[in-house]
Structure 1
Amino acid sequence: MSRIAQVEVFPVAVPFARRFVLGSGAVGTPDAAPDQSAAVIFVKLTTEDGVVGWGEQRALPSWSYETAETMAVIIRRHLAPILLQLTPFDIELFQRRAAQRLSPAVSNGFPFARAAVDVAMHDAAGKLAGVPVHALLGGKVHDEIPLCSAIGVGDQDTVRAHVLQSSDYAAYKIKIRGDVDADTAGIEVAAEAADGKPLWLDANQSYRPAALRQLRNRTAHISTIHCVEQPVPSTDTLAMGRLRELIDLPVAIDEGSFSAQDLARAIRLDAADLVVIKVCKSGGLRNALKTAQTALAGGLEILASGLTDCGIAFAAALHVFSQLELALPAELNGPELLTDLYVDGLTLTKAVATVPTAPGLGIEVDEERIRTESVNLLYR
């Protein structure tokens, strides 16, 4: 069996096509410099037989603690020595040894760095086996995945314009910021422009329970609001439970649930109605599916999301979510918000993504451009 012979890491600054703001602040602009908010880590694994696997994850320290610097160091110094002892098929063994080397403590340990490697291993394993990644995971159920448009925090005119520009999308994720007046106005404008399509509110930890109750009271007449995601800080699981008693709206957990164990704890505490699954925070594809199975066993619905991924992580997410029944269209917003995905082979038609069927991730990576644009984020 062909072992992994080389591990390469490429930090690249990928600018956004438009300014995008969460409840925790701006995360990208069209003229982004190579700073942490714009940094994407690409990983290339090469086996002894010359088979290549690609992985990728975005660094967003305002969302989770990992930075481009920590991801690069973790992969080069701690994960690469593990990988050089394994084949691309040894994914569970890699995850176990990574957890032993980098203690997960309460939740996942360095999940973004591990996810980048995990995606690359799946890509290489699929190519070696001659099958798409979803076949390695048990096979797809869906050939296509409808997408949800991401509408950032902004004034009413900006929100309205972005909803109208995204008219092909089947649903809208509306970012809110913890300001009851501004958020009420933005939600009302979005609901009017969305013309009956579902709204998925995402607070990114910016609300207090009492303020969220006010927001819900003022928007109760909008019947298309489907749920509110992670309204309170990720560490306050008990507040999530209290919120379910305070408002008549399903509550989704995201930043508060990185692993299947995290979600099991939240279920035990009656802290959520839905869970948002991301490959990045799960630490890999199979870990994401473990969270999904925990959700189903606990009676929670599943929402699919990413972290403004380029094409490698976007394709990996398609393979995972092709197996699941989602409560709303997947919020995989890289194609909508980034200037380039650095891959060929993805098919998106009117905001519907086709699940790739070629071996591995089923895409062609623009390695020359990645190498050319790679920057030294560790010592600048």
Structure 2
Amino acid sequence: MKTSFAISGGTVGSPNEGAPHVYVRVVTDVGVEGWGEARPSHRWSCETLETVTSTIAGYLKPALLGAEVSDLQTIHGLMNKEIKPDLSGGQPIAKAAVDMALHDAIGRERGCRLPELWFAGFRPELKLSYLISTASPEEAGRMASDAAAKGYRGLDVKLGLRPDADLDLLEAVKAAAPNLFLRADANQAYNLQQAAKLARAMERIGVDVFEQPLRADDLHGHAQLRRKTDIPIALDESIWTTGNLMQAIRAEACDTVVVKVTKMGGLTGARRCGELAREAGLGLLGGGLTESRLALAASAHLFRYLRIEDPVDLNGPLFLADDPVASGPRIDEGDVVLPDRPGIGCEISAEKLELYGCRSNV
């Protein structure tokens, strides 16, 4: 990590401690490799570096050895038999790394770019939002101005680091970059009364979407909040599976769904959630968990397939000083050009994995 990253629940990565990333390699019986990535963060979800690695090594790997690589339905059934799905899908971040690696291997084996596996065209260009994580309104304003000057089209502002300063924070950001798409992300920081009060002020400021203001399990509260404000309410931590999404739809709890590959059990689950949300008439936002360029590329392919047009929060490049990707997407500040190669399109450096790898008894 080249800089610290904090959300309302605490710091999720820093230059001193780094941040855990787990890489999974799948090898087919004809020698084709596929790569996947998990980015656990105990401040954001219940999965950790230890649970992800032990789940993959001790449970998923033995269950999947010998399985047909292209039979994703059976493979997800095997994974769910080993690690029973709960409301979040049952270790979805660990399963996401395996699912991503399988998609990469299938694409490489067939000579297809990732979206072609979904019978869609290759759309190489994507816009990133700029993430602001600070409790200082003055610093937030400077960051927003800098992002606008660098050509970013959207801002993702983390709220709840110092709730009493959140309104000043948003006002400073909007004043510094009035024409950028403004996404206010609370990461479950508020109760209903606090969120309603802040939402009324957001309407005056011109915030475009209010993301996950209440606890993840409070769909009823989010539904009430929607009736108190005209700002679209987006759900992130509330929606991990299609089952969660169906409950949110029934409760009329949101206007928009945040799609994240690593929280939704991989590309398979994230694509299903995105398609279901579209069919239900909901908007879509794209997000990530400070993954490296490997998961960034995989997520970007999916977001282009789902026709997400607002700038997406794939914020790894803002926070990671380096990663093990030898070649992958070309990133110029807020502009991404995806690699025109089979599968996800990234090549992984064995030397970098060795350099950054940690040793454990798993």
For 2:55 and 2:251, locate their aligned partners in 1 and report how far apart those are by CA, in whole Å.
33
1:339-354 matches, cutoff 5 A = 339-343=321-325, 344-354=327-337
Q: Secondary structure at the match of 2:204?
A: coil
Q: Of 194, 197, 203, which residue of structure 2 is paired with 1:211?
A: 194
Letter of the 1:66 partner, please give it.
Answer: E
1:123 to 84, 87, 104: 104
Q: Distance in 2 between matches of 1:25 and 1:247?
A: 28
CA deviation vs aligned residue, 1:6-27 (integer Å, no higher than 9, x gap): xxxxxxxxxx221211111111
Show the 5 A alignment for 1:248-327: 248-326=230-308
Aligned length: 359
Structure-2 change in CA distance of 1:336 and 1:226 (3 Å): same
Q: Conserved in 2, the CA contact under 8 Å of 1:216 and 1:247?
A: yes
Please say which of residues 138-147 and 339-348 is displaced more in the overlay. Answer: 138-147
- Give the alignment of 1:101-112 within 5 angstroms: 101-112=82-93
Aligned twin of 1:138: 119
Change (3 A) 1:333 1:298: same
- Any runs of at least 4 consecutive aligned residues in structure 1 with deviations exceeding 6 A, and if so which? none
Report deviation, 1:179. 4.8
Q: CA RMSD in A?
A: 1.6
More displaced stretch, 114-123 vs 129-138: 129-138
1:115–1:279: 8 Å Cα contact kept in structure 2?
A: yes
- Pairwise CA distance, 1:349: 3.2
Kindly tell me: are residues 374 and 179 of structure 1, through their superposed partners in 2, closer, same or farther at Cα, counting changes over 3 Å?
closer
The residue number in structure 2 matching 1:63 is 44
Deviation at 1:71, TM superposition (A): 0.5
CA distance 1:274–1:87, shift in 2 (3 Å)? same
- Whole-Å Cα distance in 2 between the matches of residues 141 and 209 of structure 1? 42
For 1:113, the equivalent position in structure 2 comes to: 94
Query: Which digits, 9 at most, give the CA deviation of each residue in 1:96-139, with x for residues without a partner?
Result: 11112211033411100000011111111111111111211222
Mapped partners of 1:327, 1:216: distance in 2: 24
TM-score (norm 2): 0.95
Please state how far the C-alpha of 1:378 moved relative to its aligned partner. 5.3
Residues 1-380 of structure 1 aligned to structure 2 (within 5 Å): 16-33=1-18, 38-140=19-121, 142-167=123-148, 168-177=151-160, 179-223=162-206, 225-326=207-308, 328-343=310-325, 344-377=327-360
8 Å CA contact retained: 2:203, 2:231 = no
CA contact (8 A) 2:8 2:188 kept: yes
- Contact 1:23–1:153 (Cα < 8 Å) also in 2: no
Supply the AA of the counterpart residue of 2:184: L
Question: TM-score, normalised to structure 1's length?
Answer: 0.90
1:237 and 1:271 in contact (8 A); partners too = yes
SS at match of 1:219: helix
Contact 1:66 1:112 in 2 (8 A): yes
Q: Percent identity among equivalent residues? A: 32
Offset from partner CA, 1:215-269 (integer Å, 9 cap, x none) = 123333212x111011011011111111111222110011000011110110000
Partner Cα distance (1:215, 1:175) in 2 = 14
Native 8 Å contact 1:58 1:308 kept in 2: yes
- The alpha-carbon deviation at position 40 of structure 1 amounts to 0.7
Contact kept? 1:334, 1:341, Cα under 8 Å: no
- How far did residue 82 of structure 1 move? 2.3
Q: Secondary structure at the match of 1:220?
A: helix
Partner SS state of residue 108, structure 1: coil
Moved more, 93-102 or 71-80: 93-102
- Read off the aligned partner of 1:132 and give its amino acid letter: R
Letter paired with 1:186: L
Corresponding residue SS for 1:174: strand
Distance 2:361 2:173 in 1: 41
The 1:305–1:297 alpha-carbon spacing in structure 2 relative to 1, beyond 3 Å, is same
Query: What stretches of structure 2 of length at least 5 have no aligned partner?
Result: none
Is contact 2:113–2:122 with CA below 8 Å preserved after alignment?
Answer: no
Shift in Å, 1:192: 1.2
